[in-house]
């Protein structure tokens, strides 16, 4: 696979897609890594090949990626323990972002864990398994009824703010939230990032991406490549063919060019796929490319 664009000028962005400042003293490259896929099938239990998982994490750092997204409910506990084994003691520039608000049952179901006591337990579990005294960023994952997208999250944000006051959490983020819920949270505590589902084909958050950009708040799309149902599109394949790269690299490059506040955390359990994802930072999509890709979402 060629990582050099064949029909566009080379990017002038810094390595790994440029940088974004989440908060004072907390600046990261826009290309990060999501650790969810390091756990076993269904994000449950250990990986079939732990050495392979550790190799991916070490390659993350070798490639210059400086922020890793994880959660202690991946596995559960599996990805955080792998991160600790591979990367601890952590480099000063490494930012680890986690999330709380869910738990797993014995069959692997994803269940809400939203009470103040459960959120505290989630933070403490992350700290213990990662070997940290405080988390750089903790996202509150909201798991409410989709039929009530603007339900109040005030009590949960207040619990997160208390953990921040205690020094266990440095910065608060939100996940799977509406614009109204972001605004409600901001009346309680500063929000440094929002992590929602968003990609070329799933663009319900277009207005939220732009609103957060105006406020200098990061937007972090989960499932940037489609998640459990990978993106497939004739247009995506056509653009990738013209540029001599993969459809997934094009999809990531589109996100990088969509808005400067977008941070990427594509996940993989393969060193080869990791390198292919990082190649997206070297792609520069032309206006014609972007117009063709924009039509994917209808």
Exposure b/e, 116-146, CB count within 10 A at least 16 = b: eebbbebbebbbebbebeebbbbbbbbbbee
Tokens of 141: 């994952």
Q: Which residues contact 219 (CB under 8 A, 6 or more apart)?
A: 193, 194, 195, 196, 198, 205, 208, 209, 212, 213, 259, 261, 262, 263
Rounded-to-integer distance, Cα 275 and Cα 63, Å: 8
Our measurement of the distance from residue 228's CA atom to the centroid of its chain's CA atoms, rounded to an integer in Å, reads 15
74 is known as an active-site residue: yes
Residue 92 CB neighbours (<10 A):
6
DSSP-assigned beta bridge partners for residue 172: 138, 191
Rounded-to-integer distance, Cα 268 and Cα 35, Å: 7
- DSSP β-ladder status, 135-141 and 169-175: parallel
Tokens of 125: 């579990």
Q: Which residues contact 269 (CB under 8 A, 6 or more apart)?
A: 37, 38, 47, 52, 53, 56
Rounded-to-integer distance, Cα 221 and Cα 100, Å: 17
Catalytic pick among 33, 74, 219, 222: 74
Rounded-to-integer distance, Cα 95 and Cα 157, Å: 22
What's the number of CA atoms in the CB half-sphere (13 Å) around residue 33?
31
Catalytic residues: 74
């Amino acid at each position: 696979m060629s990582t050099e664009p064949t029909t566009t000028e080379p990017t002038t962005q810094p390595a790994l897609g440029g940088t974004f400042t989440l908060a004072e003293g907390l600046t990261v490259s826009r290309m990060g890594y999501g650790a969810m896929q390091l756990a076993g099938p269904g994000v449950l239990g250990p990986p079939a090949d732990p050495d392979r998982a550790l190799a991916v994490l070490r390659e993350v750092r070798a490639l210059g990626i400086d922020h890793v997204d994880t959660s202690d409910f991946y596995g559960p506990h599996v990805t955080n323990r792998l991160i600790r084994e591979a990367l601890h003691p952590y480099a000063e520039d490494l930012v680890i972002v986690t999330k709380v608000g869910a738990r797993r049952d014995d069959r692997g179901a994803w269940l809400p864990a939203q009470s103040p006591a459960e959120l505290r337990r989630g933070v403490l579990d992350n700290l213990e398994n990662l070997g940290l005294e405080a988390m750089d960023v903790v996202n509150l994952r909201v798991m409410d009824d989709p039929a009530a997208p603007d339900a109040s999250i005030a009590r949960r944000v207040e619990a997160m703010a208390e953990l921040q006051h205690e020094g266990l959490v440095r910065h608060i983020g939100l996940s799977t939230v509406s614009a109204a819920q972001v605004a409600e949270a901001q009346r309680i505590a500063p929000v440094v990032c929002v992590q929602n589902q968003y990609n070329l084909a799933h663009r319900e958050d277009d207005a939220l991406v732009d609103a957060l950009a105006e406020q200098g708040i990061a937007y972090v799309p989960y499932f940037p490549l489609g998640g459990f149902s990978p993106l497939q599109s004739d247009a995506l394949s056509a653009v990738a063919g013209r540029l001599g790269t993969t459809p997934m690299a094009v999809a990531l490059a589109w996100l990088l060019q969509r808005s400067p506040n977008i941070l990427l955390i594509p996940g993989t359990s393969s060193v080869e796929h990791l390198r292919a994802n990082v190649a997206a930072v070297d792609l520069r999509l032309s206006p014609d490319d972007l117009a063709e890709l924009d039509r994917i979402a209808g």
